[in-house]
Chain A
Amino acid sequence: MAASKASRLGEEYETPKAAPPPAPVRPRLTLDFPRDRIWKTRIEKVNAELVVLTYGTIVAQLCKDFDSDYVEVNKQLDKMGYNIGLRLIEDYLAKSNTMRRCSNFRETAEMVAKVGFKIFLNITPTITNWTSDSKQFSLVFDENPFADFVELPDDNRAQDELWYSNILCGVLRGALEMVQMQVEAHFISDVLRGNDTTEMRVSLIRYIDDELPPEDD
């Protein structure tokens, strides 16, 4: 299983070398608000099914508007997510009391998985499959609230073309762009497609440093 997974993933990105030991992660949150406490005390909550059904109706509407052109639906979902990400980052920073930015991408991955996903979707995806240059990782979702109640259309295309939760890729892209990171994110597997896991690949393209001239060296 592990071997087949590796070979499958191998098509998607550079062959992963044995990842170096993770860099020590300095805590970026004030001790007053560890993440479980944030979820319990600082987050206004609503019934999960309201959120899940609302997402479902958005995806269904897009499929209708774009005549089941799933490639286009993926794009639209990513775009919506991007717009959300641009705004959601402020909530993330305000609620988590984050005062300093992550010093490297490994730290960013930790914050995304353990704080971001926790406070917005109450899940903590697993970070895995780092590349040796620490610029790409995967988020593996054991649980995906958006996919509750979902069975993709049986039209011989949806399971090959539609990434049902694609909005999440856009959210990551938008949110990280606002804190000066250009990333690329896409799903490489989804249990809704019949895969055994739901996995998103996230890559750092570059740090956006607007106060410095573009790197010339």
Chain B
Amino acid sequence: MFFRTIFALIIINKAGGLIYNKTFHEAGLNKISTNDYLVLAGTFHGVHAITTRLNPVKAPSNRTSMQSGILTRPDPPSGLEVLESENFRLQCFTTLTGIKFLLFTDTTQANVDLTIRRIYEMYSDYVMKNPFYQLEMPIRCDMFDRKLLSYIREINNR
């Protein structure tokens, strides 16, 4: 039995492409193929997009409008954020730039918000500041892998 465990991380780019996936705990989730991960990423992205349009009818308009003389736009509606099965929980964090971080954890995992934000910081450091990383492309950055692994290991061994 594994309690309080982070199983895996997926990063999806703006277009719905899978740009990163890493499994941290071999015994936690059954292995699925890279292709399955690609499908998962694309599907989640699509479902997420539809759920952002599923607004209650009475909600304020999502359109940019003039308010007291200033062009105003509301926050974008959030889409699907959590998906849970009997065995794991999937939490999605969408950045304001449209990147999705999907963290697969144990259903009782605490502080997932903080963990994802910390991963986002690592991404902004070790991916975005790497001159050899091309935007929107799959992430192959040793430094990111290393920092991420040691961070997750710390949490999983707690």
Which residues of A approach B to under 8 Å, CB–CB?
20, 23, 86-91, 93-95, 97-98, 100-101, 103-106, 133-135, 178-179, 204, 207, 209, 211-212, 215
- Tell me if A211 and B75 are in contact (CB < 8 A): no
- Tell me if B68 and A23 are in contact (CB < 8 A): yes
- CB-based A-B contact count at 8 angstroms: 76
- Give the distance in Å from the alpha carbon of A91 to the alpha carbon of B130 in the complex: 13
- Tell me if A103 and B72 are in contact (CB < 8 A): yes
- Which A residues are in CB contact (< 8 Å) with B64? 207, 209, 215
Instruction: Indicate which residue in A91, A93, A134, A212 contacts B62 across the interface (CB closer than 8 Å).
Output: A212
- Give the distance in Å from the alpha carbon of A53 to the alpha carbon of B125 in the complex: 22
Q: Shortest CB–CB separation between residue B89 and chain A, in angstroms?
A: 21
- Tell me if B120 and A94 are in contact (CB < 8 A): yes
- In the complex, whether B121 has a CB less than 8 A from a CB of chain A is yes
Instruction: Indicate which residue in B96, B120, B123 contacts A179 across the interface (CB closer than 8 Å).
Output: B96
Q: Which residue of B lies closest to A204 (CB)?
A: B71
Q: Shortest CB–CB separation between residue B103 and chain A, in angstroms?
A: 15
- Which B residues are in CB contact (< 8 Å) with A133? 69, 71
- Give the distance in Å from the alpha carbon of A159 to the alpha carbon of B53 in the complex: 52
- Which B residues are in CB contact (< 8 Å) with A91? 124-125, 128-129
| Residue contacts A-B, CB under 8 angstroms, 25 given | A20-B69, A86-B135, A87-B124, A87-B128, A87-B135, A90-B99, A90-B128, A91-B125, A91-B128, A94-B120, A94-B121, A95-B124, A101-B76, A103-B74, A104-B73, A105-B70, A133-B71, A134-B70, A179-B96, A204-B71, A207-B64, A207-B73, A211-B52, A211-B53, A215-B64
- Tell me if A100 and B135 are in contact (CB < 8 A): no
B68, B76, B96, B121: residue with the most chain A Cβ atoms closer than 10 Å: B96
